[in-house]
Chain A
Amino acid sequence: MAKNIVENFLRKLGKPLVVFIQRLGELSLFIAKAVYNCVTPPFYIKLLGRQFLDIGFYSLPVVALTTIFAGMVIALQTYSGFSSYGAESAIASVVLISVTRELAPVFCGLMVAGRIGAAMAAEIGTMKVTEQIDALVTLSTNPFKYLFTPRLLAGIFVLPLLVMIGDIIGIFGGFLVSVYQLGFNPANYITNTINELQAIDINIGLTKGAVFGFIIALMGCYNGYKSRGGAQGVGEATTNAVVASSILILIFNYIITGMFFTK
């Protein structure tokens, strides 16, 4: 009797564990194959260009809106928290540090995950279930190179650029609030920002951007590629892509911050 209970327990524990390890293996193989195909010809330059446009250019409005309000709210909060000890100089540096190191990368990552990760998973998932990916194979075209390489490369290279733009717009948001709402001197704000700016603030944003871009494109492609069974499967893939990339972005955000600042 006791043996049965133990056996059942192990069995219950075993199956999800085996499935988990299997998924991890599948994903690792997928990553290896995708990276290998990123660095070997042929390259589809035109498709890469379109992905740059889709992921980068068309994401600018959402990135701009989220980062400008992030910068604004940080300025406001810093003022309410620091007003008793010289808020004017504190606002510029708090906005700078929080926007460049954390807010701009994370918001860019999450917004692009929602916008692009979902679209990638839906498009590739639909191509999978309507046999368009098989059709590519029968037309002697490697789906990894044709579909995944342009997306992954665009993700890796475009997200850092978006983060940089987010940095600038976020800091500008802080500037707007402290000058027009709180009535501080604009010249002082700019001088404070420039004095406080360090190379690490930019580097960390670029690193995070590249990693998040890879995560978003990878999750979009992988979940789309693995989708099965029609509309429901594609819907699931889309959800999984967004949820997985959002969670991974937050986890890796912590890890990268840890790598940069604990030495």
Chain B
Amino acid sequence: MSENKIEIKNLHKAFGKKVVLDGIDLEIKKGESLVVIGGSGTGKSVLIKCIQGILVPDSGSIKVDGQEIVNANEEIRDAMHGKMGMLFQGGALFDSLTVWENVAFGLIENKRMPRKEAKMEAVRLLRQVGLTPDVADLSPSELSGGMQKRVSLARAIATRPEIIFFDEPTTGLDPIMSDVINDLIIESAKGLGATALTITHDMASARKIADKIAMLYKGKIIWQGTVKEMDNTENPYVRQFINGCSQGPIKVEI
């Protein structure tokens, strides 16, 4: 048994009266790629933001490498952030900076790498995600959606994080570009030996990048297993979700 990289116990989070996370228990092993699936508005993003410390949960425990991070002091949280990278749904590239400055942001600001060296590293990373060096000096707004995702991926892996979060990495991309991004995610996560946590509702993407899949419904993890187990499960919620049926136990709230 390999050790747990992330361990979440009984995590609760509510916004006012709206309960979003209602007792999440989840373990992610070192080097594993876990994909959390679930409908829109089931709290997938909130879960990731709690692990990153962007949101503070109401109760429960989150341990990264055995270190409690809920209500941890700034020093511990800073150290945690140094271990994490994230690919945001919309890319979240800084539009006041050029493409290469975006990629090298963590290297320059935190690892104190000289700018010249950082630029070379950024160009290398851009190549790794399939972009040519001539985009390095462009502004992010001059790039297409797929290219922005690639740049964002390059930025997420630049500091060689131990944990990478992917927030709906394929949303808004065409199927072929989605598959390209999936390949890049697998490549970069495996290349770094990083632990990956992805949230998505794109089943093709989930099948491809997951070692393990967990389904989030109404603030709870209602099912976990491998892709194979998912295809054979009798769980009506999972079956409805992966088959994309409007009929079933999951009622769409309009």
Distance in angstroms between the alpha carbons of A144 and B116 in the assembled complex? 27
Q: Which residues of B contact A132 (CB under 8 A)?
A: 92-95
Known: A139-B81, A140-B78, A140-B82. A134 touches B110 (CB 8 A): no
Distance in angstroms between the alpha carbons of A123 and B85 in the assembled complex? 24
Interface residues of B in 103-144 (CB under 8 A from A): 105-106, 109-110
Size category, B interface:
20 to 34
Interchain CB contact under 8 A, B88 and A139 = no
- Whether a CB of chain B sits under 8 angstroms from the CB of A135 is yes
Partner of A131, one of B81, B82, B92: B92
Q: Which residues of A contact B54 (CB under 8 A)?
A: 134, 137-138
Known: A139-B105, A139-B106, A139-B109. A134 touches B78 (CB 8 A): no
Interface residues of A in 123-165 (CB under 8 A from B): 123, 127, 130-132, 134-141
- Interface 0/1 of B53-95, CB less than 8 Å to A: 1100000000000000000000000100110111011101111
- Whether a CB of chain A sits under 8 angstroms from the CB of B52 is yes
Q: Which residues of B contact A139 (CB under 8 A)?
A: 81, 105-106, 109-110, 155, 159
Interchain CB contact under 8 A, A141 and B109 = yes
- Whether a CB of chain A sits under 8 angstroms from the CB of B49 is yes
Q: Which residues of A contact B92 (CB under 8 A)?
A: 130-132, 134-135
Residue of A nearest to B109 (CB): A141
Partner of B88, one of A123, A135, A141: A135
Interchain CB contact under 8 A, A140 and B90 = no
Q: B26: shortest Cβ distance to chain A, in Å?
A: 19
Distance in angstroms between the alpha carbons of A138 and B84 in the assembled complex? 7
- Interface 0/1 of A3-23, CB less than 8 Å to B: 000000000000000000000
Interchain CB contact under 8 A, A137 and B53 = yes
Interchain CB contact under 8 A, A130 and B90 = yes
Distance in angstroms between the alpha carbons of A53 and B252 in the assembled complex? 52
Residue of B nearest to A138 (CB): B86
Q: A44: shortest Cβ distance to chain B, in Å?
A: 9
Interface centre among A130, A132, A138, A141, by most B CB within 10 Å? A138
Known: A139-B106, A140-B106. A134 touches B49 (CB 8 A): yes
Distance in angstroms between the alpha carbons of A134 and B88 in the assembled complex? 9
B interface with A by C-beta (< 8 Å): 49, 52-54, 78, 81-82, 84-86, 88-90, 92-96, 105-106, 109-110, 155, 159, 165
Between A and B, 9 residue pairs with Cβ closer than 8 Å are: A130-B90, A130-B92, A132-B92, A132-B94, A135-B92, A139-B81, A139-B105, A140-B82, A141-B110
Please name 10 further chain A to chain B contacts, defined as beta carbons within 8 Å, in addition to the given A131-B88, A134-B49, sorted by A numbering: A131-B90, A134-B88, A135-B94, A138-B52, A138-B54, A138-B85, A139-B109, A139-B155, A140-B78, A141-B109
9 closest residue pairs by CB, A with B: A131-B92, A135-B92, A140-B81, A138-B86, A139-B106, A131-B88, A140-B110, A132-B92, A134-B54
